[in-house]
Homo-oligomer: A and B are copies of this chain.
């Protein structure tokens, strides 16, 4: 059976305008919207918009928490814009920790590539769910709940995490409380922490007021 090109092309031409919504590569030069960034023109999109190499490099863990989180959210990886998913890389040196934090806009699934992690989360009902994860184990952290990851082994940890949003957000508890201009008095009143404790951590993290 022979299918003349020109005829198929004709059918195709009619429909191709409608197909731009397969994806929406972020044009981060424009203001974003509640659903994400406006879309780059399809004619300017290449495969490189859908590929990102930034997670191939270990994060710098030469810091006090001995850990690093490297995001591939829509701001770094415009191909995920509008697609309901993103990734991040987690490096945790021996003795390191990803401190208590939440993702206000997404659930997270973690997979351990190497090393051992003590990971956990706390529910609204105050329930505690934590466990030691080894290579190949996965754990899910429901949206918006406080959770943490600690290197519980004797070797460096490498893990990847997937999120249910291209821009999950990240609120690190200590930063929220101690690394900004939120007055110590307000921190103390709303957390019941002692003044000395608050001021100590504010000092360390550069908080003011």
Binding site for B on A (CB under 8 A): 1-5, 7-12, 14-24, 27, 30-42, 45-48, 50-53, 55-57, 60, 62-65, 67-77, 79-87, 97, 99-100, 102-109, 111, 113, 118, 120-131, 133-146, 148, 150, 160, 162-165, 167-177, 179-182, 186, 189-194, 197, 200-201, 204-206
Which residues of the partner chain B approach A20 to less than 8 Å between Cβ atoms?
32, 75, 125, 167
Q: How many copies does the complex hold?
A: 6
Residue A31 contacts which of B41, B168, B189, B194 (CB distance < 8 angstroms)? Answer: B41
Given A18-B73, A63-B4: A192 touches B174 (CB 8 Å cut-off): yes
Query: Are A129 and B11 in touch, CB under 8 angstroms?
Result: no
Query: Are B32 and A24 in touch, CB under 8 angstroms?
Result: yes
Query: Are A192 and B34 in touch, CB under 8 angstroms?
Result: no
Q: In the docked arrangement, what's the CA distance between A76 and B138, Å? A: 12
Identity of the chain B residue whose Cβ is nearest the Cβ of A134 in the assembled complex:
B56
Which residues of the partner chain B approach A56 to less than 8 Å between Cβ atoms?
134-137
Given A109-B87, A191-B174: A21 touches B15 (CB 8 Å cut-off): no
Query: Are A105 and B53 in touch, CB under 8 angstroms?
Result: no
A151 to chain B minimum Cβ distance, whole angstroms, is 10
A202 to chain B minimum Cβ distance, whole angstroms, is 11
